[in-house]
Structure 1
Amino acid sequence: MHFDFLQELIAVFMISIVVILICAKFKIPSIVALLVAGIICGPSALKLVSEIEAVDIMAEVGVALLLFTIGMELSLKDLKRIKRPLLIGGFGQISFTILLITAIFSALLPWQNAVAFGCLVTLSSTAIVLSLFQQKAQSDSPHGRVCLAILIFQDLVIVPIMLLFPLLSGKLELSLQESLITLGENSLVIIGVILFGKFILPRLMFAVVKTRSRELMLMTVLGFCFSVALITASIGLSLSLGAFIAGLLLAESEYSVSIMENVLPFKEIFTSIFFISVGMLLNLDFFISHIFIVLSIAALIFAIKLFTLVPVVKITGYSMRTAIISAFSMSQIGEFSFVLAGHALTLHLMDNDGYQTFLAASIITMTLTPYFINNAPQFAAKLLSGYFKKYAHEEDVLPEKQNDFNEHIIIIGFGIGGKSLAKVAKESGIPYVVSELNPDTVKRFKDIEPIFHGDASYPLVLEHLGVKKARCLAIMTSDPTGSRAIISNAKKLNPGLHIVVRTRFLSEITGLKELGADDVIPEEFETSIEVFAKVLNYFLIPRQQIEQYVQQIRKEVYSGAHTIDLGSNLQAIKDNLPDLQFASLKVEKNCKLIGTKLGDGILRNIYKINVAAIHRTTQNITELNAETEFFENDVVYVFGSQEAIIRVQEVFLEIKD
C-alpha cells in the first residue's frame, strides 16, 4: 500500500499550521496564511507535493462545499429578494468589465485575446469574499447581499465563457440548432433536479432525520450535494454551481440547521485546501524576475474592477456607501479564472508568460482581499466625505429576512412545557422561536409555529435561532449534558442572555448556575412543593400562609443552601393546623333530622357540627338561617372535627321500623 500522497498532505497541513500560527501573531487573516503556505509547499519552493492534481480535486470539493453552505443559508425565497442585483448588477458588471478590458488591451493584443483577458478579469473570488463575509457576520448586510448576487451571476456565466473561448480561437463552430438542443437538454436536467428536491427530497430527509443517526444524515447530505454537482458538471456547468443548487433545495427543508452543523467541518477543511492549492500555482522565479510588471497588472486589475463595480452596484438601487464597499470587496480575481486561464493557454489565447503574469497578479489581488474588506468602510467614509459628498446621507432599504429575530425568547424543546411557554408568549405578543430534535414534532408544527429542527448544543444552531439578539433562552428539556452545552455556548455568544433551565434534580442547580444559567427549576423540588401546598390546602391552612411557607422554602433552596432548615416552618404549620374536615351527608328516610330546623341546635349544640350548605333537588342553598328546615334526600355539607363527623352520622341514618 502506498502512502505517498498521504505523507505529502500531512506535510502540507503541518506547514500550514505553522504559517497560520505565525500570521495570527501579526493579525494576518488565515486566508492569506493559507495562500503563503501553498506557495511554500508548491513546485517553485519546497516542492513537497508531487500529485498536484489530487490537491486540485480536493480544492474543487472545497469550493463546492462552500457554495453548498451558502445556498443553504440563502434559500430560494431569499434568492428572489436579490433578483435585481443578480440580474441587473451581475449582467452589468460582466459586460462593462469585458468591454472596458477589450478597449484597453486591443491596442496591445489581438482583439480575441483582449476579450479572453476581459473574461478572466471580470470574475471575482466567491470563495474568498463569502468566506470573509461569513467570518465577519456580514452575509446579510447590504454589501453582503449585492456581492452574493453578482458572484452568483458570475458563476452562471462561466459556461457561456467556456463556450466562447473555442469560438474566439476559431476551433469550434456551433450551429443554432445544436445550441438550442444543448440548451434544452441542460434545462431539462436542471428542472429534473429541482423537481426531485421539491417532491422527493423532503420525504427522504424526514426518513433520515427520524433515525437520529448523524452518520446517515451526513452521508445523505453529502451524497445529494455531490450528485447534483456531478450532474451539473456533466452538462457543462461547474461543480460549485451544482452544489449551490443542492444547498438551495435543502435550505427549504425544516432540517436545514441540522444539515449545516454536520457539513460545516468538512467545508472548512476542503476550503482551506483550495486556498493552499491556489498558492501552489505561483511560480516564484517568474514572479521575482517580473515583479514590476506583475504589480502593475495587479494594480490595473484592481483599478478597473473598482471603476466598473461602483456604478453597476449604484444602478441596482443601493447607496453609494454600499457600492464602494462592494467594489473593494470584489476587486480580486476569482478562483474560476484560473480554470479559464488554463483553457485560454491551451487554445493559444494566452502565451505562457501572459499566463504566469496573470496568475501572479491574481494571487496578489486575492492576498490583498482581506485587507480591502476590513478597511472598505473607512475607504467609503473618506470617499463620501470627498468625491461623493452628495451621496453621503443615502441609506439602503432591505426587506427583512424571514428568520430575523430580535428581542425574542428561544425555547429549547417543544413538549408540554415548551408548548405552554410558546402559547403564553404568543398571547402576550412576545416573539419566540423553537428548537426541537423530534422530526415528527417539527413536521406537525412547522406551518403554525416558528419551529426548527436542530441540536441547540451547537453554536451554529444557536446562531440560526438568533441567540445574539435574544433576550431569554428557556431550556425545557431534561437532558443535563445537553443543557450544559447549550448554556455554555449561549453565554459565549451572548453574555447578557437570561437563561432559564429545567432540570430533574435539586443537586444540579449549583453546576448549571456556575455555567451561566440565571434560573434553574428542579422538577423533584417543584413537584414536592406542589404536593406540600395541596396537603396544607386540604387541611384548610389559609392560602396566604401557605404561600408564605412556599416562598420561604424556595428562597432557601434557590439561594444555593445545601441543607434546608424547615424546623420553624413545620412547627408553625403544626401549631396552626386546624382539626377540621369537610363532609357531605345525606338526609335518609325517617331519620331524626327530618322536620327539624337549623335553629333547633341539634347539629351545633349536641354534635359540635357546622353546616356550610344544603343541596336540595337541583339547587344549592347557601343562605342559611335558624328557620332552614331539613328534608328527606337533602345533601348537607358540614365541617367539624373528625370525631364529630363520625358521631353525627347517626342522626342522618334511616330509622328502621
Structure 2
Amino acid sequence: MSTTLELVLLLLASSVVIVALFRFLHLPPIIGYLLVGALIGPNALKLMPNTEDARHLAEFGVVFLMFTIGLEFSLPHLFSMKRMVFGLGLAQVGLTMATILLLAIFSGLSWQGALALGGVLAMSSTAVASKLLVERSELDSPHGRQIMGVLLFQDLAVVPLLILFPALAGEDDALFTTLLMALFKAAVVLTIVLFFGQRLMRAWFTMVARRKSTELFMLNVLFITLGLSWLTEKTGLSLALGAFLAGMLISETEYRFKVEEDIKPFRDVLLGLFFITVGMYLDPRLIAQHFLFVIALLVALLLLKLLVVLGLARLFGATPGTALRSGLWLCAGGEFGFVLLTLGLEQHLLDPSVTQTVLAAMVLSLLAAPLLIHFSDRLVLRLVASEWMLRSMALTQIAARSITNDKHAILCGYGRTGQHLARFLERENIPLVALDLDPERVREAAAAGDSVVFGDASQRETLIAAGIHRANVIVVTSNDAQLALRVLHHAHELRPDLPVVVRAMEERDIARFEAAGAAEVVPEALESSVMLATHALALLGVPMQRVIRLLREARQQRYALLRGFFHGMSDSTEHLSDAAQIRLRSVALLAGSHAAGRSLTELALEKLDVSVLSLRRRGTRSIAPSAETRLDDSDILVLQGTSSALAAAEERLLRGK
C-alpha cells in the first residue's frame, strides 16, 4: 500500500510542478508530462520504476480521454461535415498509413509493425490544434474547417485501431480469423449498446438526476464509464472502446454538457499520468546515440504529413494557401499517437529501439507544432504567390465598401455585440464598416444589407483598407483580448489621435487596454450588473427618475472600483511597472490610530494621489464617502492609488506621518 501511495504522490508532485512551469511558458503540458516521465523513469534518475501500478493508473487516463471523445461524437455534426470528415479525414489517415507502411517494410520492419507504425504517425494533435484555432479565432476559417474535419476523423479512427493492434499481435496463420472475431465482437457490442442502450441510458440518467444529488450523479457517471470499459475488456476488446461507447450513449442525452464538465478534472489528471508513463519509455542515452536519426525521422514525418495534407486538400478544392496552412497545422504528431505507440509496444508489434526513435521524434514534433502554426501565415505568404493576390482582392473588397465613407466607425467584430452596436449607429445615420472572420456570418449579414466584410481587424493592411485615416472611431466588439491589443497597436501607429473603444470581458484586461492607448474601456461584467440593478430597482417600486439618476451616477464614476484591483503575488506586471500600477488596498483603523476622530478633509489623502473609494463601518458600506466624514476605530477604508502612494497613505492613517 505504501509503495502505491508513494507512486501516486510522486506522480502528482511531478505533475503540479511541470504543469505550472509549462503553463507559464505557454507550452503544451503534454510535452512537460513526457519529459518528467523520461526524467524520473527507469532510464534516467530511476525515481519511479516502470511498475504495473503506474501502467494501471495510466490506463484510466486513456479511458477518460476516449470517454470525452465519445461525448463529442454527434451524428448530426458528423453529417454536416461529412465531406471533410469522411472525405479529407479518411484520405489523410489512409494515405499516410499506406505511405508509412511501404517505407517501413522497405526499411526492414514486419508488415504488422509497419501497419502499426503507420497508425501511430498518422495522428495529429487535437489538443494543440483545436486550442490554437480557438485562440486565433480561426475555427470558422477555410483551413480551420479542414483541420477540424481531419482531427475528428483521426479521433474516430483510433477506435478501429485499438481493435486492430491486438489482432495484429496474433499468430500469422490465425490473424485473419482473430481480426474477424474482434470485428464481430465489436459489431455485436455496438449493436446492443446503440439500439438498446440509448433509451435505457436516458431513462437511467433522468432517474438519477431527479434525486438532485451532485455526488450521486458523479458516481453514476463513473459507474457507467468504468462499467462499460470492463464489459468490453471481458469480451476481448479494449477498455478504451467501452469508454468511447459510454460517451456516445450519454452524448445523445440532455445531460451531455453536465457530464462533460464533471468528468474533465478526472480526464486531465489521469491523462497527465498516462503521458508521464509514456515518457518513462524514453531512454535519453539511446536517443543521444541516434540523435541524427531522430532528427531525420522528425523532418521526414513533418514533410510527409505536410505533403499528404497539402495534396489532398488541393484535390478537395482548397486554395493553395488554405491547403498549405492545413498541412502546417496537421503535420506534427498527436496524443493518440502516444496511446497507439504504447499499445504497439505492449503487444510486441514494435521493437523497443524503433519505439525510442519514433517516440523522440513525436515529442520533438509536438514542440515544433506551436512554432509551425505561429509562422504559418508568413510561410504561406512567402511560398504561395496566389496568396498575395487573394489577400489583395480581400483588401480591395474592404476598401470598396469603405471608400465612400468619411468620419465613419470601424467595428472590429460583428457578433451579437457588434450587430447591436451597428443598429444604434444606423439609427443616428453614422456610417460604419464592420470586419469579421466568420464567413457564414459575413455572407448572411451582407446579403441582408449590413455593411460588413470579411477581414482580419488585427492586420495593419485591413485597417488601412477599412479607412482608418478617414474614420472617427474604432470600436473593438470582439472578446479576443489579443486582437484588441493588436488593433490598439496599429491604431496608435497609423492614427494616434483616433479614439479606440474596447470591450473588456475580464477586469484584468482594463489596465492593459488603457496602457495600450484605449480611449475608453467598457467592462462587460460591470455594465451587466449596473443594468440588472436598475431593472431590479424599477421593479421594486423605486421611482424611475431616481433609478435613472443612480444609473447616471454609476456611469459618471467611470467604474472607479474596477480601475484598480487588490494585487496578489501571482499578478502579472507585464505591461506596467510595479510602481505605476493602480491598486486597491483595504486599511483597517485600529484603536489609537491617528485617523480616528479626524475627517477625510483633515487627512488630505488626495495630496498623496490616493482616493478613498469606500468606507465600511460595522457592517454597512458607503461608496465614495464625503470629505467631511469623520473616521472611527474599526473603520475599514478601501483606497486607490499606486503602490508607493498607498504605503504613504496607510502610514498617515495609522501613525500620522
Match of 2:547 in 1: 554
- 1:232–1:492 Cα change, 3 Å: farther
The within-5 A match list for 1:435-584 is: 516-521=529-534, 526-529=539-542, 550-555=543-548
Q: Which moved more, 1:125-134 or 1:48-57?
A: 125-134
Change (3 A) 1:117 1:72: closer
Tell me how far 1:346 sits from its aligned partner.
6.9
1:23-38 equivalences in 2 (<5 Å): 23-38=22-37
Tell me the equivalent position of 1:446.
none
Q: Secondary structure at the match of 2:31?
A: helix
Letter in 1 for 2:533: V
Alignment of 1:246-325 (within 5 A): 246-325=246-325
Q: CA deviation at 1:520?
A: 0.8
Change (3 A) 1:185 1:18: closer
Tell me if structure 1 keeps the 8 A contact 2:167–2:182.
no
**1:200, distance to aligned residue in structure 2 (A):** 1.9
Check the 8 A contact 1:328/1:376 in 2, yes or no: yes
Corresponding letter in the other structure for 2:38: I
- Looking at structure 2, the residues matched to 277 and 188 of structure 1 have their Cα atoms a distance apart, in angstroms, of 33
The question of whether the paired residues in 2 share the 8 Å contact of 1:73 and 1:251 is answered with yes
State the 1:285 CA deviation.
1.1
Which residue of structure 2 aligns with residue 217 of structure 1? 217
Matched with 2:87 is 88
Matched with 1:8 is 7
- Tell me, yes or no, if the aligned pair for 1:41 and 1:48 is still in contact at 8 Å: yes
Q: Structure 2 regions of 5+ residues with no counterpart?
A: 395-413, 419-477, 481-503, 511-520, 555-620, 623-657
> How do 1:70-85 and structure 2 match up within 5 A?
70-85=69-84
Give how far 1:189 is off: 1.2
SS at match of 2:384: helix
Distance in 1 (CA, whole Å) between partners of 2:393 and 2:121 is: 30
1:170 is aligned to 172
1:314-463 equivalences under 5 Å are 314-338=314-338, 340-341=340-341, 350-385=350-385, 406-407=415-416
Measured at CA, do residues 492 and 147 of structure 1 come closer, stay the same or move farther in structure 2, by a change above 3 Å? farther
Q: State whether structure 2 residue 187 is matched by structure 1 residue 190.
A: no
For 1:249 and 1:114, the matched residues in 2 are separated by 34
CA drift at 1:146: 1.6
- 1:103 and 1:184 map into 2 onto residues whose CA distance is 28
Cα 1:390/1:279, change in 2 over 3 Å: farther
Q: What's the secondary structure of 2:176's corresponding residue?
A: coil
- Which TM-score applies when normalising by structure 2? 0.57
Q: Note the alpha carbon deviations across 1:138-169, whole angstroms, 9 max, x for none.
A: 666414422323312431340464266347x7
Kindly indicate whether the alpha-carbon contact (under 8 Å) linking 1:55 and 1:277 is maintained by their aligned counterparts in 2: yes
> For residue 206 of structure 2, what is the aligned residue in structure 1?
206
Quote the Cα distance in structure 1 between the aligned partners of 2:416 and 2:291. Answer: 54
Structure 1 residue 282 displacement after superposition: 0.6
Mapped partners of 2:134, 2:222: distance in 1: 21
Q: Is the 8 A contact 1:31 1:128 kept in 2?
A: no
Q: Is the 8 A contact 2:36 2:276 kept in 1?
A: yes
Give the Cα separation in 1 of the matches to 2:531 and 2:103: 65
Is the Cα contact below 8 Å between 2:306 and 2:327 reproduced in 1? yes
Cα RMSD over matched residues?
A: 4.2
User: Residue type matched to 1:89 in 2?
Assistant: L
Task: Give the Cα separation in 2 of the matches to 1:344 and 1:553.
Answer: 73
Q: Contact conserved, 2:165 with 2:344, CA < 8 A, in 1?
A: no
Please tell me the residue identity of whatever aligns with 1:210. R
Equivalent residue number for residue 107 of structure 2? 108
Partner of 1:174: helix, strand, or coil?
helix
Q: CA deviation at 1:194?
A: 1.7
Distance in 1, matches of 2:10 and 2:347, equals: 35
Distance (Å, rounded) in 1 between the aligned partners of 2:109 and 2:214: 56
2:149 matches 1:156 = no
What residue is the counterpart of 1:146 in the other structure? 149
CA distance in 2, matches of 1:325, 1:24: 26
User: Contact conserved, 2:530 with 2:551, CA < 8 A, in 1?
Assistant: no
How far, CA to CA, are the matches of 1:349 and 1:524 in structure 2? 71
Q: Report the CA distance between 1:392 and its aligned residue.
A: 7.3
Going from structure 1 to structure 2, the CA distance change for 1:36 and 1:551 (only over 3 Å counts) comes to same
* Shift, 1:291, TM fit: 1.0
Aligned partner of 1:43 in structure 2 is 42
d(CA) in 2 for partners of 1:336, 1:266? 18
Contact 1:19–1:34 (CA<8 Å) still a contact in 2?
A: yes
For residue 192 of structure 1, report the CA deviation from its aligned partner: 1.8
Q: CA deviation at 1:41?
A: 1.9
Cα displacement (A) at 1:197: 4.3
- Counterpart amino acid of 1:146? G
Q: Which residue of 2 aligns with 1:452?
A: none
| 1:330 CA displacement | 3.0
Note closer, same or farther for the CA distance 1:151–1:287 as it changes in structure 2 (3 Å cut): same
Q: Which residue of 1 aligns with 2:52?
A: 53
1:332/1:87 CA distance change after superposition, 3 Å: same
In the alignment, the residues of structure 2 paired with residue 313 and residue 228 of structure 1 have an alpha-carbon distance, to the nearest angstrom, of: 38
1:58–1:383 CA distance, 2 compared to 1 (3 A): farther
C-alpha spacing 1:341/1:204, structure 2 compared with 1 (3 Å)? closer
Q: Which amino acid aligns with 1:98?
A: M
User: Structure 1 pair 320/71, CA: closer, same or farther in 2 (3 Å)?
Assistant: farther
Moved more, 28-37 or 298-307: 28-37
Deviates more, 1:320-329 or 1:252-261: 320-329
> 1:61, 1:119 → 2: CA distance?
22
State percent identity of aligned pairs: 25
Helix, strand or coil at the partner of 2:533: strand
Distance in 2 (alpha carbons) for counterparts of 1:52 and 1:137: 43
1:491–1:516 contact (8 Å) kept in structure 2: no
* Alpha-carbon distance in 2 for matches of 1:95, 1:394: 36
Compute the displacement of 1:78 (Å): 0.9
Over 3 Å counting, the alpha-carbon distance change for 1:26 and 1:255 in structure 2 is closer
After TM superposition, give the deviation of residue 283 of structure 1 in Å.
0.6
- Structure 2 contact 321–380 (Cα < 8 Å) conserved: yes
Give the deviation of 1:40 after TM superposition. 1.9
Q: Secondary structure at the match of 1:519?
A: helix
CA apart distance, 1:97: 2.0
Q: Distance in 2 between matches of 1:49 and 1:238?
A: 26
For residues 208 and 505 of structure 2, what CA distance do their matches in structure 1 show?
27
Verify the 8 A CA contact 1:58 1:270 in the aligned structure 2: yes
* TM-score, with length taken from structure 1: 0.57
**What whole-Å deviation, never above 9, does each CA across 1:1-20 have from its counterpart, x for those lacking one?**
x3323223323333343344
Flag the 1:297–1:339 CA change in 2: closer, same or farther, 3 A: same
Output one character per residue of 1:395-417: Cα deviation in whole Å (capped at 9) or x when no partner: 9xxxxxxxxx95289xxxxxxxx
Shift of 1:64: 3.3
- Report how far residue 134 of structure 1 moved: 6.7
Partners of 1:240 and 1:138 in 2: how far apart?
A: 31
Distance 1:170 1:354 in 2: 21
The one-letter code of the counterpart of 1:147 is V
On the 8 A contact 2:169/2:348 being kept in 1, the answer is no
Query: Once the 2 structures are TM-superposed, how far is the Cα of residue 51 of structure 1 from its aligned partner?
Result: 5.2
Whole-Å separation in 1 of the counterparts to 2:139 and 2:163:
28
Spell out the pairing of 1:614-653 with structure 2 (5 A cutoff). none
TM-superposed CA distance for 1:135, in Å, is 7.0
Letter of the 1:304 counterpart: L
**Displacement after TM superposition at 1:62 (Å):** 2.5
User: Whose radius of gyration is greater, 1 or 2?
Assistant: 1
CA distance in 2, matches of 1:392, 1:181: 54
2:197·2:249 contact (CA, 8 Å) conserved in 1?
A: yes
Query: What is the distance in 1 between the residues matched to 2:5 and 2:508?
Result: 37
Q: Distance in 2 between matches of 1:326 and 1:232?
A: 36
Cα distance, 1:348 vs structure 2:
6.5
Give the number of aligned pairs: 442
Change (3 A) 1:35 1:114: closer
